[in-house]
Amino acid sequence: MSGTGAREEPVVDHVQPDESVSHAILRVVADIRDQSVVELDEPLFESIDPDALEALFHDDSSGSIQFQYLELTIRVTAAGTIRVE
């Protein structure tokens, strides 16, 4: 695989109890791209507002959100599942 983030199969991970949704997304994307979080080419806030993202997934929230980041499709559910394609 090249560093473009292109994958044949989706990666599924989960937000850990001690991390924010935004950090979990960055962690998963960095892992896919074989980079550290600080090496990612674009800040997450250029694709989605991290504060709004955190607000969507508080307490009794339900549903999901999908967006593009670094040529990847990111889907996050209220249950904390992150799917990256």
Average per-residue pLDDT in the chain?
A: 88
Decide if 74 is inside a domain. Answer: yes
Predicted local confidence at residue 7, as pLDDT? 53
Decide if 53 is inside a domain. Answer: yes
- Residue (of 33, 9, 34, 36) closest to 23 by Cα position: 36
Within 10 angstroms of residue 58's Cβ, the number of other Cβ atoms is: 9
pLDDT digits (tens, 9 = 90+) for 41-73: 999 999 999 988 888 777 677 889 999 999 999
Decide if 72 is inside a domain. Answer: yes
Decide if 4 is inside a domain. Answer: no
Decide if 6 is inside a domain. Answer: no
Q: Which domain holds residue 64?
A: 11-84
Question: Domain tally for the chain?
Answer: 1
Decide if 36 is inside a domain. Answer: yes
DSSP class of residue 55? Answer: H
Decide if 21 is inside a domain. Answer: yes
